Structure 1
Amino acid sequence: MKKVNIFVDCHVFDGNFQGTTTYIKGLYSELIKDKHYRFFLGANDIASLESIFGTHDNVVYVRLKATNKFIRLLFEIPAIIKNHQIDYAHFQYVVPPIKKCKYILTIHDVLFLDFPEYFPITYRLKNRFLFGKSAKCSEIVLSVSEYSKKQLQKHFGIDTVTVTPNAVDPVFFEPYDKAAVQAQVRDKFKISKYFLFVSRWEPRKNHYRLLKAFVEKGYYTNYNMVFVGDKAIENKEYTVYFKSLPQEIKSKIFTFNKVSFNELLLFVRGADLSIYPSVAEGFGIPPLESLAAGVPTICSNTTAMSDFSFLNECLFNPLDIQDLKDKIEIGLNDSKINQKREAMAHKFSWDQAAEEFKRALY
C-alpha cells in the first residue's frame, strides 16, 4: 500500500509555545505512530522540531528558509509540495493560494466574528476573508471543539467540519514533588504562594476582572498573582486599573512573557490555584493542563469551555466578579481534583483526535 505523504506547516514552533503548537505537537505525536503515512514537517529550526517529535522512519524534517509568512505561503511551501509529491498539506487558519495538492485546514476558532467588540476592525475584515477563502478551497476542514465547529458552519457555510479536540501533553500528568517545584519557582523567580493565569494578553481573556477580584477580596495579603503569556492586543482597562493600585499590591502581581515550555510547566506545577477567566475561547487548554498536574483549577463556563463539565462547581460566569470570587474560595478548598482529572483525561485525548483526523482523510 502506497504511503500517503502529508506536509505539515510547523512554522509556529519557531516562536513561543501557544495553542496551535500544543495542537500540532499532540496530534502528530500520535499520527506518526501510523506507518501508513509519511510526514514532512516544515519549520525554520528543524533541529528543535526533531527534538520535539523525535526520529522516525516515516518523518522527514524540511527546513523552511522564509521567515516572512507571505513568501512562505506564496512560494516556498508550494515548491516543497511539488518536490516531495505531497498528497495532503495541513495548515492552521490560512492556506497557500497556489494549490499543488489537497488541503487540510484547522481553524481553531472564529471568535473575532462571534465577539467583534474584542477585536480591531482591520483584524476582523482581513481574517474573515482569509479564513473563509482558505476553508472553501480545502478538502478537509478541522476544528477543536463542537462550539467552534458550529460557528464555522454558521459564518462560512461549511457543510462538513471534523472536530479533532485538543488534549493535554502527557508530561502534565507525570508525578512530581510539589514542595521541590515550589522551591524551584521561589529560587528562580522569587515568587511563593501564587494564583496562576496562563494566556496571552487580550481584552477577551479577562485579566482585568481577575485582577479586580484578587484585589477586592484581599488575596494579595496571602498570595501573589502570576500572569504568564505574551502581549497580543492592548488591554487598556487592565492597564488603567493596575496603575491605580498602591505599590504594596503591585508588588504582589507578576507578569512573564516569552516563557519556555519547561518554565511554563514549572509555573503550573507550583501554583496554589489555576484560574482561567477568559470570556471566549475556541477551546481553552491551560485549565486542562493545570488540572492534569493536580493543581486546583477554576474556569470560565462560556463558549467552548462550557464543555468542561468535569469541573462542575469550579466553573463560573467570567462577567460576574462575585461569582469569580466565590469560585476562588471553592477552588482553594477543592477535594475532588483527582476525580476531575480522571474525567478530563477520559474525555480529551490525542489518540482520539488522531482517529478523527484519519477518518476525515477517508
Structure 2
Amino acid sequence: MKIKRIFVDCHVFDGNFQGTTTYLKGLYIELIKDKNYRIFFGASNIDIVKNIFGTHENVTFIKYKAKNKFYRLLFDIPAIIKANKIDYAHFQYVVPPIKNCKHIVTIHDVLFLDFPQYFPLLYRIKNKFLFKRSAKCSDIVLSVSEYSKMQIQKHFEIKTVTVTPNAIDPVYFETYDKENCKEQVAKKFKATNYFLYVSRWEPRKNHHRLLKVFVEKEYYKNHTLVFIGDKAIENKEYNDYYDSLSPSIKVTIFSFHKLNFRDLLLLVRGADLSIYPSIAEGFGIPPLESLAANVPTICSNTTAMADFQFFDDCLFDPLDLEDLKDKIEIGLKDTKIVQKKEAMSVKFSWKQAAEQFKKAIS
C-alpha cells in the first residue's frame, strides 16, 4: 500500500477544547499507529499539538505563519500542501477556496438548519453557504453520528457521508478516589454534593430548564449546581430566571468558564450526578465522558442522543420538566452504571472511527 500523506488543519487546538478538538485528538491518535499514513499537523500553537500527539516517525508538525483565519486558508495551508506533496487535507466544517489536493471535511452537525430558532440569522446564512460549499467541493465528507449524516444529506443533497463517530478519551476510564475528588472540589471550587452540566452556553443547551428543576424541586437544600462551559450565544431565559432568585439560592449555583482539562476532569469525577439536558446535538460527548468516569448520568433523548440507548431508564425529554425531575431521582439511585458503561464502550471507540476513516479513503 502506498503511504498516504494527510495534512490536518489543527487550528481548533489554538483555542479552548471542544467537540472538534476531542474528535481530532481521538481519531488521529489511533490513525498515527498505522504507518501507511504520514500525518502533517498544522497549527499556530504547535507545542499544544505536539503535547497531544507526541513524537512519531510518521508525524510532522508545521507552525502556521499567521493566526488570521483568512491568511491560513488562502495562503498558509495551500503552500503547506504543495510543499509537502499532500494527498489528502482534512478540515473541520470549512475547506479553503484553493484546492491542490483531495479534501476531507468533517461536518459535525447542521443544527442551525434543523433548529433555526436557536441561532442568529447571519450565522445561519453564512454557515449554510460555507458548509454546503465545503461539502460539495470535498472528495470525502465525514460526520460524527447517523443523525448528522442524514441531516447533511437532506440539507446539502450529498449522497455519500461516512460516519466516524466520537468516542471517549481513555483518561475518563481511569480509576480514582471519589471521596478525594469531592474533597478537592470543595476546597478549590466550594461546590459540594453537586449536579454537573458540561456544555458551552447557548439557548439550545437548555440550561434554563435544568435551573428551574433545581430550584422548583428544592434540590438547592441538599445539593449545589455546577455549570462548566464558555459563553457562545446568550440565553436570556436563563439570565432572567437566575436574576429573579434569592441570594440564598444563588450561592448554590456555580458557573465556571475556561477551565483547564485537569480541573474539568476533577469536577466530572466529583459529581453526584451528571445531567445533559441539551435539546439538540450533532453528537453529545459530555454524558459519555461522565458515564465512563462511573458518574451517575442522565441524558436527553433527542437528535443524535437518541442513539444513546445504553442510558436506558436515564434518558429523558429535555422539554418536559416533570420527566427531568423523575430522571434525576432515578439517576441518583442508579445501580446499573457498570453495565451501561460496558454497552457504551462497545458502541463507541476511536478504533472504530479510524477504521471508518480508512474505508472512506480507500
TM range (shorter): over 0.9
After superposition, the C-alpha distances for 1:206-254 in whole angstroms (9 at most, x for unaligned) are 0000000000000000111000000000100000000000000000000
**TM-score, normalization by structure 1:** 0.99
Q: Which residue of 1 aligns with 2:304?
A: 304
CA distance in 1, matches of 2:169, 2:78: 31
Where do residues 39-58 of structure 1 align in structure 2 (5 Å cutoff)?
A: 39-58=39-58
State yes or no: 1:192 paired with 2:192: yes
CA distance in 2, matches of 1:103, 1:218: 52
CA distance in 1, matches of 2:202, 2:65: 31
Q: Which residue of 2 aligns with 1:77?
A: 77
Counterpart code for 2:99 = K
Q: Which residue of 1 aligns with 2:263?
A: 263
Q: Which residue of 2 aligns with 1:288?
A: 288
Where do residues 101-120 of structure 1 align in structure 2 (5 Å cutoff)?
A: 101-120=101-120
SS of the residue 2:57 aligns to: coil
SS of the residue 1:20 aligns to: helix
Structure 1 position 64, deviation (Å): 1.3
Where do residues 125-274 of structure 1 align in structure 2 (5 Å cutoff)?
A: 125-274=125-274
Alignment length (residue pairs): 362
CA distance in 2, matches of 1:16, 1:192: 26
Structure 1 position 109, deviation (Å): 0.2
State yes or no: 1:279 paired with 2:279: yes
User: Structure 2: where are the runs of 5+ without partners?
Assistant: none
State yes or no: 1:15 paired with 2:15: yes
Moved over 3 A (4+): none
Q: Which is worse superposed, 70-79 or 305-314?
A: 70-79
Counterpart code for 1:148 = S
After superposition, the C-alpha distances for 1:101-155 in whole angstroms (9 at most, x for unaligned) are 1000000000000000000010000000000000000000000000000000000
Structure 1 position 2, deviation (Å): 3.4
CA distance in 1, matches of 2:17, 2:267: 14
Counterpart code for 1:331 = G
Counterpart code for 2:360 = A
Counterpart code for 1:78 = P
SS of the residue 1:5 aligns to: strand
User: Structure 1: where are the runs of 5+ without partners?
Assistant: none
Q: Which residue of 1 aligns with 2:341?
A: 341
Structure 1 position 65, deviation (Å): 2.5
SS of the residue 1:96 aligns to: coil
Where do residues 56-75 of structure 1 align in structure 2 (5 Å cutoff)?
A: 56-75=56-75
Counterpart code for 1:48 = I
